[in-house]
């Protein structure tokens, strides 16, 4: 295999890769650019990336009876303040954080003890339970959405925070992953802890948990990314109660208003929702790629 770089071939490869990169980046460019521009610039497709940032008059603010001078803003300020004013975006973001964090914490509380028992404790029926875990890995979450919705509706739990969290409390994938990891932890470590008089319960949280931090971190990324971005389940579970909207549901509301001036604030909202994960990804790429492709270990 020749290792010398053929300059023309190398240039062609880069040209293809750059073309691909431009197509991949295009919607991100559109999103950020339009979140900076005035409605007029958006409709006429002018102003370059940043827009001219000429002060504009907020007509709605004038309609409310404010003096014209007090309603003048630059487009970027207008878009981002409107994003928070037209809809309770802050509330949606907090809902998103609350739901995502609750899901992850409950998943860990359920999965870690189970994974520990399946990997380090001997008891009758253990293989059967592990078989159950392997079987449940086959069930895609989208296939249980409808019956879960019916069950939640029957017990009156739709349109609650609980309904957003309950279907995700069990992560068989998390159990499987943590079990595989615990199998590699030496038994001596656990025996030593037992000698010291530790209960099995505290062994999980004081001995096993600290050794599992890398695996747990990868699982955290896997879980948080999936549920922060999830749209299907919140759409199904939450019908109408805006106080419970997660960020994607909140963003989707913008589409209802056909008014042209909404595009800027809508793109600002999209930018605000997408940025946290993208920023975290750029800071810790390795870990993120590891976490997202975790399902590759199935």
Partner 1 sequence: MAQGVHRAGYAFIAPAVFLMIAILIAPVLIAAALSFTDYSLGNSGFDWVGLENYDRMVSRSTYTKMLSATALYVLTVVPASIGLGLGAALLINSVKRFGDIYKTIYFLPVMAALLAMALVWEFALHPTIGMINGTLSAGCGTWIESLLGWHWLPWADDAPSWFENGCASGFPLWFGDKDYSLWTVAFIGVWQAFGFNMVLYLAGLTSVPRELYQAAAMDGATTAWDRFRLVTWPMLGPTTVFVVTITTIRSFQVFDTIEAITQGGPAKSTFVMMFAIYEKAIQHNLMGMGSAITIVFLGFVLILTFVQRHLVERRVHYS
184-213 residues in contact with partner 1 (CB under 8 A) are 194, 199-201, 204
Residues 298 and 137 sit within 8 Å (Cβ to Cβ):
yes
CB of 282 to partner 1, least distance (A): 7
CB of 227 to partner 1, least distance (A): 11
How would you label 148-179 residue by residue, b for 16+ Cβ within 10 Å and e otherwise? bbeebeeeeebbebebbbbbbebbbbbbbbbb
Contact string (CB under 8 A) for partner 1, positions 249-268, x = contact: --xx-xx-------x--xx-
Binder to partner 1 among 236, 242, 284, 287 (CB under 8 A)?
Answer: 236
**Which conformational region is residue 130 in: left (phi greater than 0), alpha (psi within -120 to 50 degrees), or beta?**
alpha
Binder to partner 1 among 90, 144, 183, 213 (CB under 8 A)?
Answer: 144
Contacts of partner 1 in 51-70 (CB under 8 A): none
Residues 251 and 273 sit within 8 Å (Cβ to Cβ):
yes
Residues 116 and 206 sit within 8 Å (Cβ to Cβ):
no
Point out which span in 55-63, 78-86, 164-172, 208-216 binds partner 1 (CB under 8 A): 164-172
Does 34 bind partner 1 (CB under 8 A)? Our answer is yes
CB of 84 to partner 1, least distance (A): 16
Pick the closer one to partner 1 by CB: 72 or 101. Answer: 101
Does 145 bind partner 1 (CB under 8 A)? Our answer is yes
Pick the closer one to partner 1 by CB: 21 or 192. Answer: 21
Q: Cα–Cα distance between 193 and 203 in angstroms, integer?
A: 7
Point out which span in 58-66, 75-83, 97-105, 119-127 binds partner 1 (CB under 8 A): 119-127
Residues 92 and 247 sit within 8 Å (Cβ to Cβ):
yes
Point out which span in 41-49, 65-73, 86-94, 97-105 binds partner 1 (CB under 8 A): 41-49
Residues 126 and 117 sit within 8 Å (Cβ to Cβ):
yes
Tell which residue, 175, 266, 276, has the closest CA to residue 225: 276
Does 36 bind partner 1 (CB under 8 A)? Our answer is no
Q: What angle do CA 73, 79, 81 make, to 5 degrees?
A: 80
Helix (H, G, I), strand (E, B) or coil at 61: helix
Contacts of partner 1 in 79-118 (CB under 8 A): 109-111, 113-114, 116-118
CB-based contacts of 202, cutoff 8 Å, min separation 6: none
Binder to partner 1 among 83, 93, 177, 270 (CB under 8 A)?
Answer: 270
CB of 175 to partner 1, least distance (A): 6
Point out which span in 54-62, 65-73, 82-90, 122-130 binds partner 1 (CB under 8 A): 122-130
Pick the closer one to partner 1 by CB: 215 or 291. Answer: 291
264's tokens: 């800027």
């Amino acid at each position: 295999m020749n290792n010398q770089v053929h300059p023309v071939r190398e240039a062609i490869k880069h040209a293809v890769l750059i073309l691909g990169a431009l197509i991949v980046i295009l919607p991100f460019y559109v999103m950020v650019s339009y979140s900076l521009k005035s409605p007029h610039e958006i409709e006429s497709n002018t102003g370059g990336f940043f827009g001219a940032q000429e002060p504009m008059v907020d007509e709605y603010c004038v309609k409310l009876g404010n003096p014209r001078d007090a309603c003048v803003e630059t487009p970027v300020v207008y878009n981002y303040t409107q994003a928070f004013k037209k809809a309770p975006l802050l509330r949606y973001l907090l809902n998103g954080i609350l739901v995502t964090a609750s899901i992850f914490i409950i998943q860990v509380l359920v999965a870690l003890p189970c994974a520990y028992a399946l990997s380090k404790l001997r008891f009758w029926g253990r293989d059967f339970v592990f078989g159950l875990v392997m079987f449940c890995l086959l069930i895609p979450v989208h296939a249980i959405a409808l019956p879960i919705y019916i069950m939640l509706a029957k017990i009156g739990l739709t349109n609650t925070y609980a309904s957003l969290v309950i279907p995700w409390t069990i992560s068989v994938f998390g159990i499987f992953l943590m079990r595989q990891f615990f199998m590699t932890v030496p038994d001596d470590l656990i025996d030593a802890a037992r000698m010291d008089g530790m209960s099995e319960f505290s062994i999980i949280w004081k001995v096993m948990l600290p050794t599992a931090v890398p695996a747990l971190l990868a699982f955290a990324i896997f879980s948080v990314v999936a549920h922060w971005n999830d749209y299907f389940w919140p759409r199904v579970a939450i019908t109408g109660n805006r106080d419970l909207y997660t960020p994607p549901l909140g963003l989707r509301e913008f589409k209802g208003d056909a008014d042209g001036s909404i595009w800027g604030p809508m793109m600002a909202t999209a930018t605000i929702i997408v940025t946290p994960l993208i920023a975290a990804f750029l800071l810790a790429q390795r870990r993120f790629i590891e976490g997202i492709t975790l399902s590759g270990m199935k």
